[in-house]
């Protein structure tokens, strides 16, 4: 049984898997990390390995806590054994979250051209070919980041919560911001998908991340929406390395 730990800048997501079946998952603030991990281990005593993925450095206390656990803990890095060929020019700079997403694509959609779009703080695009080669992708600002940037880097524009405008022609400053941000993101994503479709046949597109539900039904292209794709990818890495160390 596997315990998956995905640590972000503010929140930590954890999940417990039995094979490829997710038994539980939750999200919490980093301040209660140790308490929550202990609870997971008590609730599921069959857990025999853990994987940690962090976009930021874990605190020394947290690192020491993990090292003291009587369970194998694997930290995901660019050197972790993965089931794809990495053609990224600077693999040491490739985010561990993107590595996990590619592993999920390879494991769940083998021998298929797959574009994974992770819509969170940033929108990342990651592409793997049908011969399981990772070529790279793109990074752009996410929805919340675009709203915040308009507010922080201008004198008079307000900070708004994401909202789909009724009309793409904004008839007020607030509506104009909503139109620019939300329709801009949707147009960007559809445009990127179309460009990949033009070059790679039989393309499968996966949409994941915190803004999955907001975007899924508004894209004109056919996609598979899966907000748990990253957690599944981390579990796939553990399962792959269980037999390939």
Tallying the residues shown for the chain, one arrives at 245
Residue 66: CA count within 13 A, CB half-sphere = 18
Over residues 101-143, the pLDDT tens digits come to 999 999 999 999 999 999 999 999 999 999 999 999 999 999 9
Per-residue model confidence (pLDDT) at position 244: 65
Tell me whether residue 6 is annotated as binding: yes
For the full predicted model, state whether its pTM sits above 0.85: yes
Q: What is the DSSP letter of 141?
A: E
Q: Does 9 belong to an annotated binding site?
A: yes
- pLDDT, tens only, 182-223: 999 999 999 999 999 999 999 999 999 999 999 999 999 889
Cβ-contact 125, 137 below 8 angstroms:
yes
Residue 149 marked ligand-binding: no
**How much is the mean pLDDT over the chain?**
94
Q: Is the pLDDT of residue 10 over 90?
A: no
pLDDT band at 245; cut points 50, 70, 90: low
Question: Which amino acids are annotated catalytic?
Answer: 97
Structural domains of the chain sorted by starting position, each given as residue range(s) with its CATH number in brackets:
1-75 (3.30.420.40), 81-245 (3.30.420.40)
For position 203, what pLDDT does the model report? 97
With vertex at residue 98, the alpha carbon angle to CA 93 and CA 101, rounded to the nearest 5 degrees, is: 155
Could you give the CA distance from residue 27 to residue 179 in angstroms, rounded to a whole number? 31
Inter-residue contact 80 to 33 (CB < 8 Å): no
How far apart, in whole angstroms, are the C-alpha atoms of residue 204 and residue 229?
Answer: 14
Contacts of 225 (CB under 8 A, 6+ apart): 206, 207, 208, 212, 213, 216
Positive or negative torsion for Cα 22, 23, 27, 33:
negative
Judge whether residue 9 has pLDDT over 80: no
Is 136 assigned to a binding site? no
């Amino acid at each position: 049984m596997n315990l998956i730990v995905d640590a972000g800048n503010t929140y930590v997501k954890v999940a417990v898997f039995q094979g490829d079946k997710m038994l539980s998952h939750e999200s919490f603030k980093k301040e209660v990390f140790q308490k929550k991990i202990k609870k997971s281990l008590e609730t599921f005593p069959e857990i025999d390995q853990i994987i940690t993925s962090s976009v930021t450095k874990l605190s020394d206390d947290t690192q020491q806590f993990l090292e003291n656990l009587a369970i194998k803990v694997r930290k995901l890095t660019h050197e972790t054994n993965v089931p794809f060929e990495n053609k990224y020019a600077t693999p040491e700079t490739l985010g561990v979250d993107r590595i996990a997403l590619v592993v999920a694509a390879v494991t769940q959609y083998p021998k298929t051209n797959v574009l994974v779009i992770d819509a969170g703080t940033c929108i990342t695009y990651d592409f793997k070919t049908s011969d399981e080669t990772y070529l790279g992708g793109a990074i752009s600002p996410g929805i919340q980041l675009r709203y915040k940037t308009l507010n922080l880097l201008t004198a008079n524009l307000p900070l708004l919560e994401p909202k789909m405008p009724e009309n793409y022609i904004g008839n007020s400053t607030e509506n104009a911001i909503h139109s620019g941000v939300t329709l801009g993101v949707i147009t960007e994503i559809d445009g990127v998908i179309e460009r990949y479709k033009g070059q790679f046949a039989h393309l499968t597109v996966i949409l994941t991340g915190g803004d999955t539900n907001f975007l899924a039904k508004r894209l004109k292209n056919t996609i598979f929406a899966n907000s748990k794709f990253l957690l599944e990818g981390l579990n796939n890495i553990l399962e792959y390395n269980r037999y390939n160390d």
